[in-house]
C-alpha cells in the first residue's frame, strides 16, 4: 500500500529551494559534508600497571579496564600499536607499603612507572609514551603534592615534580604530562628537562583540570582514593570557571607547554572550544574514568548502545576543537574505526 504524500505546509512552501535534508540523504553525501571526523590518530590510551608477573586485575568501577603487570602491559601495548593507536599514558598502582608523606617513590628511577616505560619502549620504540607528573599514586595522603601542616605546598612540590619528570624522561618517556595543577610547574619542569639534556621530551600540560567528581574510578584504579585526605579543590579548578581556564592555559603555554589538555571532557566541552579558539594550540580532552564508567554502566544495563554512544562522545571532542582524546575505550574505538 502506498501512502499519499501529505500536502506541503504553507510554511515550507515559501522556501521550496532550501531543504537541509538533501545533504543527509545517503552515506556518500553525509561523508562529503561531514565537518569533523574521528580516526585512530586521535586516540591516546591510558593504561594501569601493577607489580608482578602475568598479573591481571579488573578495576571494579571501570568494567573492561584492567591493571596489568609489565609483561602483560607490553603485550597490550603491542595490540594498541597494531591497531595504530599513536600513544599510551601509563599510570602506576603503587603498593601501600611504598606510599609515604614525601612521595619519595615518585623519584625512584627504578619505580614501577619507569620500569613499565622501559619495557614498553624496548618492545615498541615507535609507540608514544606519556607519564603523569604528579605525586598522588606515591603519596600516603593521596594528594598530588606534598602536604605540610594540612596544606598542599606548591613550590616544594614543584621541586619534586622536576625530579620525577627527569627519572621518567631517563626511562624513555616521550611526553611528560603534569597533572598536579601546582603553579609554575611547567616552566620549572621545562628547565629541569633541558638542563638534563631532554630538550626533545614534550610537555602536555593538564592545563585546565577541574576538581571533579568524575575521577572516582581512576582513584580506585591507582589505589589513591582510599588514602585521600580532604579534597583537591585548593589546586584543581572550580567547575564554575571558564575564563580562569584560559588564564591557566595562557600561563602554561608561556612557560613552555607543547600541548594542553582539558579535563574532564564531556562536561567541559565549552572549555575545549574556548581553549582551542583562543590559542590554536594542540589541545587534548581527557574522557576521564567517571565518563567511561557512566557509559559502560548504561551499556551493560542495555540502556545505551556502547559502540554508537562511544563514537558519538569521542566525535563530540573533535567537533568542540580537540585534536585528540585520552580514552580508556581507545582500543574499542580503534577497532570500530577500522571496521573490525
Residue ranges in contact with ligand PBG by CB under 6 A: 132, 134, 136, 144, 179-180, 215, 218-219, 232, 288-289
Integer Cα distance of 64 and 279 in angstroms:
36
Integer Cα distance of 52 and 69 in angstroms:
5
Q: Which is nearer to ligand PBG, 164 or 316 (CB)?
A: 164
Tell the smallest beta-carbon distance from residue 219 to ligand PBG (Å): 6
248 marked among binding-site residues: yes
Integer Cα distance of 244 and 23 in angstroms:
39
Q: Which residue, judged by CB position, is nearest to ligand PBG in the bound state? A: 218
Q: Which is nearer to ligand PBG, 67 or 232 (CB)?
A: 232
Q: Which phi and psi (to 5°) does residue 4 adopt?
A: -60, 140
Place of cell 575564563: 243
Annotated active-site residue 209? The verdict is yes
Under DSSP, the state recorded for 237 is: B
Comparing CA positions, the residue from 326, 334, 339 lying closest to residue 87 is 326
- HSE-CB at 276 with a 13 A cutoff on CA atoms is 19
Tell the smallest beta-carbon distance from residue 179 to ligand PBG (Å): 4
Q: Which is nearer to ligand PBG, 69 or 164 (CB)?
A: 164
Q: Which of 99, 121, 232, 263 is catalytic?
A: 263
Q: Which of 209, 232, 276, 296 is catalytic?
A: 209
Could you write out the DSSP letters of every residue in 155-182?
HHHHHHHHHHHHHHHHHT-SEEEE-S--
Annotated active-site residue 318? The verdict is no
Tell the smallest beta-carbon distance from residue 53 to ligand PBG (Å): 26
Q: Which is nearer to ligand PBG, 211 or 278 (CB)?
A: 211
Cα dihedral 285, 130, 110, 331 in deg (nearest 10): 80
3-state secondary structure of 20: helix
Tell the smallest beta-carbon distance from residue 261 to ligand PBG (Å): 10
Binding site residue list for Mg(2+) = 248
Catalytic residues: 209, 263
Amino acid at each position: 500500500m502506498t501512502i499519499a504524500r501529505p500536502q506541503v505546509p504553507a510554511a515550507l512552501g515559501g522556501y521550496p529551494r532550501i531543504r537541509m535534508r538533501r545533504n543527509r540523504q545517503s552515506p556518500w553525501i553525509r561523508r562529503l559534508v561531514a565537518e569533523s571526523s574521528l580516526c585512530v590518530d586521535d586516540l591516546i590510551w591510558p593504561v594501569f600497571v601493577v607489580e608482578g608477573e602475568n598479573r591481571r586485575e579488573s578495576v571494579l568501577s571501570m568494567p573492561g579496564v584492567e591493571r596489568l603487570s609489565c609483561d602483560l602491559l607490553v603485550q597490550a601495548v603491542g595490540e594498541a600499536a597494531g591497531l595504530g593507536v599513536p600513544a599510551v599514558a601509563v599510570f602506576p598502582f603503587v603498593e601501600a607499603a611504598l606510599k609515604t608523606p614525601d612521595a619519595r617513590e615518585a623519584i625512584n628511577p627504578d619505580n614501577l612507572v619507569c620500569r613499565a616505560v622501559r619495557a614498553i619502549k624496548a618492545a615498541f620504540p615507535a609507540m608514544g609514551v606519556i607519564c603523569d607528573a604528579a605525586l598522588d599514586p606515591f603519596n600516603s595522603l593521596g594528594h598530588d603534592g606534598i602536604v605540610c601542616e594540612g596544606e598542599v605546598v606548591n613550590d616544594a612540590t614543584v621541586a619534586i615534580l622536576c625530579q620525577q619528570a627527569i627519572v621518567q624522561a631517563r626511562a624513555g618517556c616521550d611526553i611528560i604530562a603534569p597533572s598536579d595543577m601546582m603553579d609554575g610547574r611547567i616552566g620549572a619542569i621545562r628547565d629541569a628537562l633541558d638542563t638534563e639534556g631532554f630538550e626533545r621530551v614534550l610537555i602536555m600540560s593538564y592545563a585546565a583540570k577541574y576538581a571533579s567528581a568524575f575521577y572516582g574510578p581512576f582513584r580506585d584504579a591507582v589505589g589513591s582514593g582510599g588514602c585521600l585526605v580532604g579534597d583537591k579543590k585548593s589546586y584543581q579548578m572550580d567547575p564554575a570557571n571558564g575564563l580562569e581556564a584560559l588564564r591557566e592555559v595562557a600561563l602554561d603555554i608561556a612557560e613552555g607547554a607543547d600541548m594542553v589538555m582539558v579535563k574532564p571532557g564531556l562536561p567541559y566541552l565549552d572549555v575545549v572550544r574556548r581553549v582551542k579558539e583562543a590559542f590554536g594550540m594542540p589541545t587534548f580532552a581527557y574522557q576521564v574514568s567517571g565518563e567511561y564508567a557512566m557509559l559502560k554502566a548504561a551499556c551493560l544495563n542495555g540502556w545505551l548502545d556502547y559502540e554508537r554512544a562511544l563514537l558519538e562522545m569521542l566525535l563530540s571532542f573533535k567537533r568542540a576543537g580537540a585534536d585528540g582524546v585520552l580514552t580508556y575505550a581507545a582500543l574499542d574505538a580503534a577497532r570500530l574505526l577500522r571496521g573490525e
